[in-house]
Structure 1
Amino acid sequence: MTTLVTGATGNTGRHVVRELLERGEKVRALTRSPAAAVQVLPSGVELVEGTHTAPKTVSFEGIDRLHVTVTAGLAEVGPELVQRAVDSGVRRITVVWGGAVGPTEEAIADSGVEWTRVEPQEFMSNTLNWVDSIRAEGVVREPYDLPSALVHEADIGAVAAVALLEDGRSGRAYNLTGPQALTPRERIALLSRAAGREIAFVPMTHEQAVDRLMATGVSREDAEYVIGWYAAPPAESATVVDTVERVTGRPARTFEQWVAENAQRFQ
């Protein structure tokens, strides 16, 4: 059996690919640039060109299982992607949600095939947004200092792999967190020790944070949504759950582990 992983070089997709390959599974990785993907993905994966936001570029020939990560631009075409997959014979789908149950998530749940929705809270890799200011100035600027039970992307990939391969996971939605809820200041303290340099927390206003995000090309509506989430995060975002351990059989990775893996990027 072969699994198609969309967004295969993304934050979570690459971990799904790696987990499946380590279990001896056949994996087809969908990517806009197969040549670049060679540098990111492990050997043994079949690389195919295409993107899940353009369903007609995706071939499901020989595919039994599908992994989808909901990203920007998928809401309008996600249902078409799902229908093409089902019509082609895909019988099991996992989806990493986009932070809420939208059109793609709904289409998968209504598809008539086995499905599992993976609902991670904040990704540990969001910390990489601090790289430039840390390296240039030794500071992190954020508007809020509230706790978040960040989850390691590798744990998201591991849970998705289990759901793809094991029976009895259909119809479930897995809320995922890491083992601790940490504020930005607490994360910065851990980064400072690992990077061997002092890093300061500098508060900024809500509007400054919105403007900063808009400067990257994000619309005001989307920027307000993102910063608004940090201003008033849902209770689930700071509530530690043991889903990773229950599904995979091992404890969720800590933020300290993530920092050890990425410390050199902040130096």
Structure 2
Amino acid sequence: MASMCKKKMRVAVAGATGNVGQHVVRALLDAGHEVRALTRDHRKGEEVLGRHARLRLVEGEGDDAGALCTACIKCDAAFLACANCEEQAENEIAFVDAARSAGVEFLVKLGTIRQYTSPTSDVAYARRHAAIEAHLEKTPPKCHMKWAVLSPNCFMSNHLADVFGALPATSTIAYPLDADAGARLVDPRDVGELAAAMLTRPENYDALHGRKLDVSGPEEINMGELAAMYSEALGRPIRFERVSVEKWVAAASRHIPAWLAEDVVKNFELWNAGELCFETSPEAQPLPARTMRQWVQELAPRSPPPE
């Protein structure tokens, strides 16, 4: 397996405190590279990422042209992620344009599940991802920036809602899923480390240019197995309950915007249909290795005591 580039690089990271972005930053710093981390809140940036001699926090909103320029100028490569929001397409396109103008050589964009990423998708955030990818594909004259998209499967960290919500409250995990329906969930840490490796291997930029790579975990997991893993980790019975789509959306809407809950629930249709069992694209190296059991053993003990 190839290692990260020995040349020390400067990399811009948008969404630096996010689910994946923070792990991109840490992997880059661990490998000796310099990072310009774009964040909306400098204080939160320090809380999540800490302080480091090779880390510069750039505070600014997604549409702040000055902040985008500051983040990207004199950078060799860039990572782009953005929270699901109504301004996502506009903000990510602005970052792409800033990276192009700054002469960035290679950009890795964090996408979403490819099965529903299209301009006509019934998932709003997937339509936004499709619009951003279309903008990447329209390369302006004299622009030499290469790019690739990582399209991860559902994140293991989505189940933090189990750990800090459902488990202490009811000792039950409840989803609109068949108990034996499998999916290859992926740890966002693996996605971040993969992105960092891609960004710091200039010898692979040409081969990766324009590629949209699937990223999944190493094994399938179903809800019956997940409940058993929680039971083992917590030392008490945890059960799985299949609930209706409507009940799940109502519960999720107490914590995330209703429109996002309506979008997210459509993942479970793919899950039940066996469409989230896809493997990682072979070009995506290093392959994600963390298992759901490892994630549960690490995170479940942090769950508050039963109510």
Match of residue 126 from structure 2: none
Task: Please give the residue correspondences for 1:18-167 in structure 2 after superposition, counting only pairs within 5 Å.
Answer: 18-44=26-52, 45-52=55-62, 54-58=64-68, 59=70, 60-72=72-84, 73-99=87-113, 100=117, 101-111=129-139, 112=143, 113-130=145-162, 131-145=164-178, 146-166=181-201, 167=203
What is the rounded CA distance, in whole Å, between the counterparts of 1:230 and 1:154 in structure 2? 23
**Distance in 2 of aligned mates of 1:67 and 1:132:** 31
Is 1:9 paired with 2:48? Answer: no
TM-score, length-normalised on structure 2?
Answer: 0.78
Partner Cα separation in structure 2 for residue 91 and residue 225 of structure 1? 34
After superposition, the CA RMSD in angstroms is 2.3
SS of 2:89's equivalent?
coil
1:54 positional shift: 4.7
Equivalent residue number for residue 224 of structure 1: 262
The structure-2 alpha-carbon separation of the partners of 1:87 and 1:240, relative to structure 1 and needing over 3 Å to count, comes to closer
> CA contact under 8 A between 1:70 and 1:104: conserved in structure 2?
no
In structure 1, the residue corresponding to 2:150 is in which secondary structure? strand
Q: Report the TM-score when normalising by structure 1.
A: 0.89
Determine the C-alpha separation between the residues in 1 that align with 2:66 and 2:237: 50
CA 1:217–1:182 in 2, change beyond 3 Å: closer, same or farther? Answer: closer
> How many corresponding residue pairs?
264
Work out the CA distance in 1 between the residues paired with 2:192 and 2:300. Answer: 21
Say whether the 8 Å CA contact 1:178–1:253 is kept in structure 2: yes
Q: Offset at 1:24?
A: 0.7
- d(CA) in 1 for partners of 2:243 and 2:138? 43
Q: Is the 8 A contact 1:66 1:90 kept in 2?
A: yes
Q: How many angstroms apart in 2 are the aligned matches of 1:121 and 1:251?
A: 11
- In 1, the alpha carbon distance for the partners of 2:63 and 2:157 equals 23
Percent sequence identity over matched residues? 30
Distance verdict in 2 for CA 1:195–1:120, change over 3 Å:
same
Query: Are residues 217 and 172 of structure 1, via their aligned partners in 2, closer, same or farther at CA, if it must alter by over 3 Å?
Result: closer
Deviation at 1:78, TM superposition (A): 2.4
Residues 204 and 235 of structure 1: CA distance in aligned 2, closer, same or farther (over 3 Å): closer
Native 8 Å contact 1:117 1:173 kept in 2 = yes
In the alignment, the residues of structure 1 paired with residue 238 and residue 64 of structure 2 have an alpha-carbon distance, to the nearest angstrom, of: 42
Give the unaligned 5+ runs of structure 2: 1-8, 118-128
SS of 1:36's equivalent in the other structure is helix
Following superposition, the deviation at residue 142 of structure 1 comes to 1.3
Change (3 A) 1:76 1:37: closer
1:213 aligns with 2:270: no
Secondary structure of the structure 2 residue equivalent to 1:39: helix
Q: Is the 8 A contact 1:31 1:49 kept in 2?
A: yes
